[in-house]
Chains A and B, each alone.
Chain A
Amino acid sequence: MDKKIYERPLIIKQQSGLMNKFGSSTINAPVTEIDRVPVKDIVEKFGSPVFAFSERKIRNNQREMFRIFKTRYPKVQFAWSYKTNYMNAICSIFHQEGSWAEVVSEFEYEKARQLGVEGEHIIFNGPAKTAAGLERAIKERAKIHIDHFDELYLLIELTEKLNLTADVAIRVNMDVGIYPKWDRFGFNYENGEADQALKRIVLNDKLNLIGLHTHIGTYIMSTEPYKIAATKLVVLANKLKENHNITLDYIDMGGGLPSKNTLKGQYLEAEQILPSYEQYAEAITSPFFNLTMPPNEFPTLIIESGRALIDDAGFLISSVIANKRLSDGRRAVIIDAGVNLMFTSFWFKHRVAPGQNAGSFTENSSLYGPLCMNIDCIREEIVLPALKKGELVVIMNVGSYSVTQWMQFISMRPNIVLVTEEEEAVLIRANENLEYLTSLEVVPEKLKTFTLH
């Protein structure tokens, strides 16, 4: 006779009066497969932990978001925010879907160029552009978004030296009624700095003013700030047309749309409190209809959305290393993926699901990573079913920033795979090894020998 399926013995104390009246489930259903590829198979082939991205989800997210904007304002262009996730394969999916590249460093710029993105389809943002970086951007006709006056004057010098014109926009910061105010980037709207910068550009015949840009923040939880920002840029665009007869090619509203991740300290799940993307799109596009130029001269709306397009396409599959009890009796689960791979877990309550079918009995647990550091805590408080050593845990919504902000700390960075539309898991970045890491190190000759007793 077959033996019964074993589940770790559990005793759960019943407590009353603690129900969430909004009724959201705190327990996640098991994630046993990603686009019909079993997570077990992915781990068998690529090891644990392993990042997995769903190509289908990325494409669907991009197409859906594009549709949402396009149906509200017909001239829309997306630019993929490289810093959100600049794995070559991931960027290529976005480029295949028609997105330009939005880069904030020379390294990202080079990455986009190597992938075959032409300069004219690169938006060059950021406060730290070098003379060499700007020279290249001028020559390759990238769209340079000027961040401060020092950069503006450097650009003027360079265009004179090269005897070339540069396609430029300015980044505008403004009060949109939220905290923190991102006034460290760009020129301020309210104090007239933006007007002054625009005037300086207009007076220079080597600077070709083609756009206005803003990026009001990240994970913006209401739509109104976007409406205020769009309204202010529309006012600037109208003034440029009226005073200088300049017709802009585009207004770039940046990104910052939230994903379905829940912030720490946020009581309700993100899905329950965040506005829909349709509401954001409505807030962004409606002020555009106050533009005063003829409709055929209306600028293109550029969206640099990052996390909203990829967060839910990224999964981190990891394995249980050990179960233990904390001094207060609480269950602690240790997994082989830590904060070194999920920098984002410092501010997000990432969803965690078992990677195999689990029993219905659950326990309040703390979820720790493998690092020998007290800070390595993925979730302080999470309801999990009984998990055995070696069983799989899937951390969800880790598509943005995880594989760009991850650290090589204590352990190596693992494989990244793409689950393709053909339902096959393929490697897109190999795991690191000691040779790769030490290849950059140099040991001075006198330190090469030692004797231990």
Chain B
Amino acid sequence: MSKITISSNLAVSDNGFLFLPSTGESFTLNPIGKLILTALKEGKEQKQVIDLITKEYDIDKSSAEKDLEDFISQLKNHKLIIEQ
């Protein structure tokens, strides 16, 4: 699993509202989406993020990993990830 770098100028509000000043686009995140994005922004590795989710939520590791991969592909799709 590689380390993901999130675009640094993202603004995320407490209730999951996300604003990208460079393009003016806005997004909403559900609570788990917000948790993941915040963790990735803090520089956490994917493995650490999965631990974080499974500790807090009622979900097994493999499902969390599958969903995290999918979420990262959504972030890529919205161009919110800086490709290494």
Contacts and interface: CB of A to CB of B under 8 A. Distances in A.
Interface of A: 2-14, 323, 325, 329, 359, 361, 386, 388
A11 B75 contact: yes
A9 B52 CA distance: 13
Interface in B12-61: 18, 25-33, 35-37, 53, 56-59
Contacts, number: 75
B15 to A, nearest CB: 12
A9 B26 contact: no
A3 B18 contact: no
Contacts of B33: 9-11, 361
A11 B32 contact: no
A425 B30 CA distance: 36
Given A8-B32, A10-B33, A11-B33, A325 B27 contact: no
A334 B22 CA distance: 36
SS class of chain A's interface: helix, strand, loop or mixed?
loop
Nearest to A8: B67
A356 B18 CA distance: 29
Nearest to A323: B70
Contact of A7 (B32, B70, B75): B32
Given A329-B73, A388-B63, A13 B27 contact: yes
Contacts of B64: 6
Given A9-B67, A388-B63, A4 B28 contact: no
Contacts of A5: 57-58
Contacts of B78: 11, 13, 329
A14 B18 CA distance: 10
Given A13-B25, A388-B63, A7 B73 contact: no
Interface of B: 18, 25-33, 35-37, 53, 56-59, 63-64, 67-68, 70-71, 73-75, 77-78, 80
Given A3-B57, A11-B18, A325 B32 contact: no
Given A11-B29, A325-B70, 9 more contacts: A2-B58, A3-B57, A4-B56, A5-B57, A8-B71, A10-B32, A11-B75, A325-B73, A361-B33
Contact of A11 (B35, B59, B67, B71): B71
Contacts of B56: 3-4
B28 A361 contact: yes
Given A11-B71, A329-B73, A329-B74, A6 B28 contact: no
SS class of chain B's interface: helix, strand, loop or mixed?
helix
Nearest to B53: A6
A390 to B, nearest CB: 10
A11 B79 CA distance: 12
Contacts of A2: 58
Nearest to B37: A11
A14 B25 CA distance: 7
A104 to B, nearest CB: 49
A14 B68 CA distance: 21
A359 B57 CA distance: 14
Contacts of B28: 11-12, 14, 361
A386 B59 CA distance: 14
**Which of A11, A12, A386: most chain B Cβ within 10 A?**
A11
Contacts of A14: 25-28
14 contacts: A3-B57, A3-B58, A6-B53, A7-B31, A7-B32, A8-B67, A9-B33, A10-B29, A11-B18, A11-B29, A11-B37, A12-B27, A13-B78, A329-B78
Given A359-B30, A361-B28, A388-B63, A11 B74 contact: yes
A283 B26 CA distance: 51
Contacts of B27: 11-14
A14 B24 CA distance: 11
Closest 4 CB pairs of A and B: A329-B77, A9-B33, A6-B59, A3-B58
A9 B18 contact: no
B36 to A, nearest CB: 5
Contacts of B57: 3-6
Nearest to B56: A4
A14 B17 CA distance: 10
A11 B31 CA distance: 10
B61 to A, nearest CB: 12
Contacts of B31: 7
**Which of B28, B30, B63: most chain A Cβ within 10 A?**
B30
Given A329-B74, A361-B30, A9 B68 contact: yes
**Which of B26, B32, B68: most chain A Cβ within 10 A?**
B32
B29 A4 contact: no
A192 to B, nearest CB: 65
A11 B7 CA distance: 15
Nearest to A4: B57
B30 A10 contact: yes
A13 B29 CA distance: 9
